[in-house]
Amino acid sequence: MATIPTYDDMLRTVGDGDPTEFVMACIQAYKNSDEYKTAVLADEYDHQRNRTILEYTKTLYTMSGVQTEDFTASNNRLCSNFFNRLNTQRCLYSLGKGVSFVGVGEGGADTTKEALGKHFDHDIKEAGYYALIHGRSHLFWDVDRVHVFKATEFVPLLDESTGELRAGIRFWQLDDAKPLVAVLYEEDGFTKFETGDDGLRETQAKRAYKTTYQTVPYDGEVEVVDEENYTSLPIVTMYGSRLKQSTLVGMRSAIDAYDLVRSGFANDMTDCAEIYWIVNNAGGMDDSDLMRFRDRLKLQHIATVDGSDGAGVTPYTQDIPYQARSQFLTEIRNGIYEDFGALDVHTVAAGATNDHIDAAYQPMDENADDFESWVGEAIVKLLALIGIEDEPVFSRTRISNQSEQVQMVVQESTWLDRETILRKLPNITPEEVQAILERSDEEDMARFAAIQAIQETETQDEDGEGRSDATDAGGKAVPLS
């Protein structure tokens, strides 16, 4: 296991000197770490390229006992999509509707959301997903938007005393033939590096995070007029759970078992591996003759037997154990969902009551509580960096018996105000509530104006100065009766 350098190591090794060698050493050490290797493997499973099943090959043993690849056997490799499916479900269950805010600070929740930028909900979904599959992700605040750094491209440099993130190195490379680009982020600015013929070299000196430029009118040159940094490192770590590890840990073995059984089933169906032959009246054949006979059958599908009269070959088949394998696959699948705490929609019967649905969601709610606590903590730290005091609110995406939910709201409507009723109705989105309330207020005002007009008309009739009709606020005629 590689030891990743810390922030204190950077202070002791670099000081005020050139950090180039230290940056390269950190990247190499990080690539050799278990965290990085697990994150790279998680990306493979996330893209439905399950490493174990793709590297699996059938083998057999020669007469001398040497293991060799069985190139005559079918080798279907079926990769399941459990990893992507379950992590997507957990992430979007909490973040699918975006993040709202309480609005405890000055200006309210709308001001908070506006300050975070229009891409914030998308960026937080991305950060939350990578925090799950990699164990953690990092949020870099760049003036007016969040940028997400995955664990496969960011080396955290932690304080040895507090464990806080004090600096970090982001690196990326399109392929082995392209240069490696790296950026060292420190509290007082960032420095850029790139590999060349002479190794890693600095391509941009340290610069502040917030830089103001000005164009000189007479020559069009751009010059820096002001540089400013944040009060702390503008990078926040987001963990996916209290375990602070990839969700692939523990799940991989179950996924591999499922894929191996399903692929083996497909291979048996393809090449009928359960067929065998009994050779009659061929006692003169030794082991080498039998091996050649078998090879000809498998490769050419025809063979002759040299022997006494009556020699022949009788094929026998065995039924593929379909029932046992199907049951085993079902048990593995159920175990994967149960261990991950996910919702298998096939377990929710049509017409189930909300009590049954809530019970099915219970494990998912427990995991969501843990996930949201870490996402919320990262968002609060990000807001503090910007200078905003507020708290995030998560709206979970779940199925429900809508007719039952509507009936419950109707029964409680006597004790609820209109806004609360609208927010509790399952078929109305939060964005639609305000527009409905505004239109409802306009209708109430129009109705009130019409009633006032009617009352005024009746009063005038009593005084002998009445008229035959009245109009509402929109100019529409309103009958007096």
In a domain, 272, yes or no: no
Of 360, 382, 397, which marks where a domain is finished? 397
Q: What's residue 136's pLDDT? A: 97
Q: What's residue 479's pLDDT? A: 53
| DSSP H or E stretch at residue 194 | strand 189-196
More confident residue, 377 or 294: 377
CA distance 235 to 11: 19
More confident residue, 128 or 456: 128
In a domain, 461, yes or no: yes
Q: Which residues contact 198 (CB under 8 A, 6 or more apart)?
A: none
Which 8-state DSSP code applies to residue 433? H
In a domain, 60, yes or no: yes
Of 397, 413, 428, which marks where a domain is finished? 397
In the predicted model, what is the mean pLDDT of residues 291-317? Answer: 67
Q: Do residues 339 and 472 both lie within one domain?
A: no
Q: What's residue 170's pLDDT? A: 97
Does the structure show a pLDDT above 60 at 473?
Answer: no
Convert the pLDDT of each residue in 336-345 to its tens digit. 999 999 988 8
Q: Do residues 392 and 452 both lie within one domain?
A: no
CA distances from 48 to 54, 86, 126, 150 (A): 10, 13, 18, 19
Q: What's residue 480's pLDDT? A: 45
Name the pTM for this structure.
0.76
Q: Which of 159-173, 179-193, 206-220 has the lowest mean pLDDT?
A: 206-220
Q: Do residues 352 and 415 both lie within one domain?
A: no
* 301 conformational bin, left if phi > 0, alpha if psi -120 to 50, beta if neither: left
CA distance 209 to 263: 52
Average predicted confidence (pLDDT) for the chain: 83
| Domain residue limits at 63 | 42-135+240-266+330-397
Which 8-state DSSP code applies to residue 2? P
CB 435 within 8 A of CB 417: no
Convert the pLDDT of each residue in 345-364 to its tens digit. 877 766 667 677 778 889 99
Convert the pLDDT of each residue in 86-111 to its tens digit. 999 999 999 998 998 887 666 666 78
| Domains held by the chain: number | 2
Convert the pLDDT of each residue in 108-148 to its tens digit. 667 888 899 999 999 999 999 999 999 999 999 998 899 99
